Amino acid sequence: MTRHGLARLGLLSVLLSGLLAGCGSSHGRDDDAGPGADAGAMADGGATGRDGGSRRDAGSIDAGAAADAGTPAPCDPEDARAEVCPDALCDGPSSWHWNGDDCFEIDCGACRGSDCDVAAFSREACLAAHATCTPAICRESGGTWRFWGEDCGPFVCGVAPPEDCLVGAPVCDCGPLGTFDPVLGCQNDVICTMGPPPRDPEVACNETGGTWGDFCCHSECGERCFDACVSPACDCGVGRVFEDQRGCVESSRCYEGRRDGEICDDGARCGFGLICCESCGGAGCFGPARCRAPLCDDDPDIDMCGNNLLAP
């Protein structure tokens, strides 16, 4: 059973039976940087950078080759990334670039890559330039673009399609009442009204892998409510939030803007000014990749994650 798990298997059998006829991380070394994330690619192999121009443009509408052969097609990720440790204080204007999923900022002109000149100078201008790309169509029509996911096609009525494809990709989730159209985006669909009847919150929590208890409020991305009370709620665990009808579901806000020290080897994006490091620094210090502030110094034997490259 894959990571999508047993939680949705029962729902799939009820909802998709007869409606669907088919299929419509490692550290993610080539993952992209999201909005507000540091798009810096690492200069050496000792760290894992959330590179703003390296992810495949999964699910994007191919708008054709640009007239200028040196310019990427509108929905392709741009080869642009923030210089993590610039040699001099950067003092240029900030720029915005498309990473295949969303627009991200490169601060004060410290851009590296062949597409640094293909830039917008506001988030709004960048989004407008990529409004016909599938991720933008998904979000603008009310869906959630699952940039961290590896599914076999867009969600149908809030449920992932059967996993029978060779290679998954990021897809759009239009919620429990919608299906995705590649041109129109999320559309309410009558087939979604044929699904299971509304579930009691406790039932929805338990059936989707959550824990129902006296938590006062539903957990957010693995964080329980700090209020002291005995009101029943659902703890959905890391990477998930609670929705009344669907129960525990993965949410994009759990996968971007990770803070210093938080794990980033599950497809998540580090917050602005942080990079994703494979090791917590030094020989014998191993563990999951975590978001760290880059270490910028002149020691050629110490990488930007603080790892000693000469250590046995």
Which amino acid belongs to residue 250?
E
Contact (CB, 8 A) for 243 and 207:
no
Strand partners, 93: none
**Whether this model's pTM surpasses 0.85:** no
User: Looking at residue 88, what is its pLDDT?
Assistant: 65
- The token pair that represents 209 in the structure block: 């892998």
* All residues at 6 or more sequence positions from 86 whose CB lies less than 8 Å from its CB, including other chains: 110
Is residue 125 classed as helix, strand or coil in its secondary structure? helix
User: Looking at residue 196, what is its pLDDT?
Assistant: 65
Strand partners, 291: 276
DSSP string, 33-101: P-TTS--PPPSSTTSB---TT-S--TT-------SSTTS--TTSPPS-EE-SS-SS---S--EEEE-SS
Nearest to 169 by CA among 101, 78, 79: 101
CA pair distance 295, 280, nearest whole angstrom: 12
Going along 120-274, which residue ranges are E strands?
144-151, 169-173, 178-181, 185-188, 211-213, 233-235, 240-243, 247-250
| CB count in 10 Å sphere of residue 4 | 16
User: Looking at residue 312, what is its pLDDT?
Assistant: 63
DSSP state of 259: P
Contact (CB, 8 A) for 176 and 25:
no
For the chain, domain boundaries: 201-244
Strand partners, 275: 292
User: Looking at residue 248, what is its pLDDT?
Assistant: 93
Q: What does each of the 312 residues of the chain score in pLDDT, given as a tens digit?
A: 433 433 333 333 333 343 333 333 333 333 333 333 333 333 333 333 333 333 333 333 333 334 344 556 789 999 998 888 877 666 778 899 999 999 999 888 788 899 998 889 999 999 999 999 999 999 999 999 999 988 999 999 998 888 888 889 999 999 988 999 999 999 999 888 876 677 899 999 999 999 999 888 899 888 887 777 778 999 999 889 998 878 999 888 888 888 888 888 777 888 888 888 876 544 455 678 888 888 888 788 888 888 877 776
Angle at CA of residue 257, ends 113 and 223, nearest 5°: 160
CA pair distance 106, 198, nearest whole angstrom: 45
The CA distances from residue 193 to 7, 83, 247, 267, 290, in Å, are 20, 50, 17, 32, 42
Nearest to 38 by CA among 91, 94, 88, 92: 94
User: Looking at residue 235, what is its pLDDT?
Assistant: 94
